[in-house]
Amino acid sequence: MSRAREALVVNGLRILIIAVLVALWEYSADRYISSLIIGKPSLIAVKLYEYILSDLFREDLIFTMQSTILGLFLGIFGGVAFGIIFSHFRLFAKSVEPIILAINALPRPAIAPILVIWFGFGLLSKVMVAFSIVFFIAFFNTLNGIRSINPELLKIARVMGASRVQIMRYIVIPSILSWVFAAFKASTSFALIGAVIGEFVGSTRGLGYRMLILSGYFDTSGVFAILILLMILGYSLIKISERVENIILKWRPPATTSLF
Amino acid sequence: MAIISVRGLSVVYGNGVKALDSVDLDIEEGDVVSLIGPSGCGKTTLANMILGVIPPEASVSGSIVVSGIDIIKDRKSLVEKIYRDVGVGYVSQVDTLLPWRTLMDNVILPLQIRGMTDPEHMDRAKYLLGLVGLQGFENAYPHQLSGGMRQRAQLVRALVTDPKILVMDEPFGALDALTRVALQEHLTRIIAETRKTVIFITHDLDEAITIGTKVAVMSKRPGRIKMIKRIDFPYPRDPFKLRSSREFEDIRSELWSSLASEVIAGEQG
């Protein structure tokens, strides 16, 4: 099958599968199961439309995106910086390592309430929840990056007459970045998860907060409407970060084997 | 005066392994010394010492004087001076090109480190790439190049700052036989053109004779210099022609018997 034909068939199948599922859903709602429980696609569409046209939507969307993106970048920056410092002080690293592992073992939703107590109901507590997840991903990838540096590279750099700062700049940092950006996509998803968890625990706006309110009113279709928005947001963020990853890591050899 | 002078150099590693035992070696400017010996005899240790890469837990006695600077005595303070003033180029067996840099950016890394990215030196980088047949690949990433091409790029990178001394540690060891011979030919051409003092470590006797103006045979561990043989073929050398010549055969069998006794002794020890 030619590439173009295959793409046509795959896209056709996708639309068909979704259409069938939505039709089944629409048909069963209120006929076999109450739409209070499973929602109803036509109702969801109406809710979605109304919500998107309201001022609330803009406010919620911006709020959630802000906490996601701020948490993502602060987390990566903090994780990399701390990872580098960490690897430079062996004794300090050895002493602190179990503490870091223990903190990272905490389920992140469990620390969200304390973060809300500390940082309030506004943006900052959501940024901190997202940060608390991304930070550790970036931190551990930084350590891996530093540990996996080929010692021959350091020897070569020294023989070239490189100073400590130059070894950092030309060898260590690029090695670390390749590891950190390899986890950029995952970090983006986790940042969104963190932001939404933060909103669940205590907030006055945001997509996650709105969903919590609607579920309190048993507005199932409204909840689904927000879920769809979160899905679109998450998917777009992943696609954007994939792009960023590919641009920054364009030197990587392409994967040569594929499962399908 | 010798540009590199090794006197009574002994090295014992932290784990008690004696790598070198009272090594004496004088290398004159323009010498191309092939260093050959059984595996584990301390060839790489000797090269590292000359490069100033001295493991901190090793105990070292004797002296290495490179261009008038004693590497052992002045370890920290002056090793950097050697790299900067005398210039030592290093090519290792493993692939040490930075995967995130293009070929050209890899090759000019030593220039960037020393702040020498002026047009004259950049042109030199381009000229050297042409000399080893890599023109047209400047913007390729290492993973897009073959092993032989990457090794040639490492050679260019080592030469780009025009160092006086070139240390090569089994540079062609990981390549297939045909690529090896092609690169040996490239190397003798570059040596003829750039007139470097070269220390060339290998475990391949034919390669040692093809490259060197002198072949130094090392004993089994702890390594000493057992014999030094002058090789007088003019540069650039043609490895194929050379190897079928009568003189090559004679040199080969003389060195082989010296080497073989070490290999057999090495197995018994």
Percent of chain A with pLDDT over 70: 97
Q: Is the pTM of this model over 0.80?
A: no
Residue B21: strand, helix, or coil:
strand
Give the C-alpha separation, B170 to B172, whole Å.
6
Q: Residue A216 has what pLDDT?
A: 92
Establish if B171 touches chain A: CB-CB under 8 angstroms: no
* Amino acid at residue number B11: V
- Which contiguous run of DSSP H or E holds residue A90? helix A90-105
What are the tens digits of pLDDT across the range B197-213? 999 999 888 999 999 99
Mutation pick from A90, A148, A149, A160 vs chain B, by most beta carbons of B within 10 Å, is A160
Residue B147 in this model has a pLDDT that exceeds 90: no
Confidence of residue A112 (pLDDT cuts 50, 70, 90): very high
3-state secondary structure B204-224: CHHHHHHHCCEEEEECCCCEC
Please check whether residue B163 is in contact with residue B89, taking contact to mean a CB–CB distance below 8 angstroms: yes
Residues 6+ apart with CB under 8 A from B23: B6, B8, B9, B10, B42, B46, B62, B223, B224, B225
- Side-chain-side CA neighbours of residue A113 (13 Å): 3
Please check whether residue B203 is in contact with residue B170, taking contact to mean a CB–CB distance below 8 angstroms: yes
- Side-chain-side CA neighbours of residue B202 (13 Å): 24
- Side-chain-side CA neighbours of residue B78 (13 Å): 14
- Which contiguous run of DSSP H or E holds residue B18? strand B18-27
Let me know if domain A39-248 sits in CATH 1.10.3720.10: yes
What are the tens digits of pLDDT across the range B74-103? 665 555 666 666 678 899 888 899 988 999
Residue that has been written with the tokens 């040996």 in this structure: B184
Give the C-alpha separation, B124 to B62, whole Å.
38
Q: Residue A212 has what pLDDT?
A: 93
- Which contiguous run of DSSP H or E holds residue A11? helix A3-28
Establish if A154 touches chain B: CB-CB under 8 angstroms: no
Establish if B115 touches chain A: CB-CB under 8 angstroms: no
Q: Which domains does chain B have, with CATH numbers?
A: 31-41+163-268 (3.40.50.300)
Beta-carbon neighbour count of residue A101 at 10 Å?
A: 11
Q: What is the DSSP letter of A163?
A: -
Q: Residue B269 has what pLDDT?
A: 42
Give the C-alpha separation, A213 to B78, whole Å.
70
What are the tens digits of pLDDT across the range A171-209? 998 888 888 887 888 899 999 999 999 999 988 999 999
Selecting from A155, A161, A174 the residue whose C-beta is nearest the C-beta of B98 gives A174
Please check whether residue A167 is in contact with residue A158, taking contact to mean a CB–CB distance below 8 angstroms: yes
Distance from CA of A72 to the nearest CA of B (A): 24
Q: Cβ–Cβ of B80/A153 closer than 8 Å?
A: no
Distance from CA of A243 to the nearest CA of B (A): 17
| The two structure tokens encoding residue B191 | 């040596």
Starting at the earlier edge strand, list the strands of the sheet with B18-27.
B18-27, B4-12, B59-66, B69-70
